[in-house]
Amino acid sequence: MSTPIATLPTATPVVVTDADASDEQLIALWLHGRSAHTVRAYRRDAELLRAFVGGRPLRSITLGDLQAFADTLTGEGSSRGRHLASVKSLLSFASKLGALPFNVGAALRKPAARDTLADRILTEDDTAKMLALTEGSEHVLIRLLYAGGFRVSEIVALRWEHLSDAPNGAMFVTVHGKGDKTRTVRISTKTANLVRALRGDAPPTAFVFPGRAKNGSTSAVQAWRIVRAAAKRAGIEKHVSPHFLRHSHASHAIERGAKVTTVRDTLGHSSIAVTDKYAHARPGESSGDVLAV
């Protein structure tokens, strides 16, 4: 019978020496504290791998198994890379806990992904059309996604207590984002006034964008549908998602002269290198400009 993984105080390093510790326990520990969206995606990837190896324990998986698993994945390089990144993360975590003899996933190469960032940036005209053709709370939701460069998970979780007045009628919006990090973003007076107009007599703990369920918020799926419908009304053929507005915020802000460091802090990027991609996604000039063709 396997020995359960002990639960220790967070200040004490956790070391699993029992090689028979169940994969279910390891996966639960690996997923602990992640967002609901991440948990669903990561668990699905872990189950894909476990199904591929016929339910064998993680500690028995070889590099050959991982490479064969990688060969079965289909789709764009970025999609396959995400599946493999999840698997590598799980195996790395299990290795650090001592449940695996070594991290076999470290040697697995992820496929090269085509850089599609430029394809996911809307023009300022398209963004303006989406806003002009949308009304009420849906207009404010889209506007806030774009104006603050927020993730959809951050927007749907917003409560009125997370908003506060800023100088000159602007507003501070505090969100709890990726990596368990909290950041505060200032939005303009014009956008802030539209947000304030939604409140009515809602208490501080109420969601800014309430959903259909009592005391619930608009779901990420519903927010996606709102954005997609707005894009269709604007005549945009791409499968626009809320994240397009975040990408567009970064690109448009840099093109209008915002410092890369300011955009980094607004979007909550982990490093300046992530934000700097937007400075090169849609170049304003090319060496080809000086050619005679």
Based on the residue annotation, tell me whether 214 is a catalytic residue of this protein.
no
Q: Which of 59, 186, 228, 243 is catalytic?
A: 243
Catalytically annotated residue among 82, 246, 247, 249: 246
Clarify whether 56 is annotated catalytic.
no
**Complete DSSP assignment for the chain:** -PPPPP---TTSPP----TT--HHHHHHHHHTT--HHHHHHHHHHHHHHHHHTTT--GGG--HHHHHHHHHH--S-HHHHHHHHHHHHHHHHHHHHHTSSSS-GGGGPPPPP----GGGG---HHHHHHHHHT--HHHHHHHHHHHHHT--HHHHHT-BGGGEEE-GGG-EEEEEEEGGGEEEEEEE-HHHHHHHHTTTTT--TTSBSSB-SSTT-B--HHHHHHHHHHHHHHTT--S---HHHHHHHHHHHHHHTT--HHHHHHHHT-SSHHHHHHHHHHS-S--GGGGS--
Q: State the catalytic residue, choosing from 80, 151, 247, 252.
A: 151
- Is 43 assigned a catalytic role? no
Residue 243 designated active-site? yes
Q: Which of 110, 178, 186, 277 is catalytic?
A: 178
Q: How many CA atoms lie within 13 A of 223 on its CB side?
A: 28
Active site residues: 151, 178, 243, 246, 269, 278
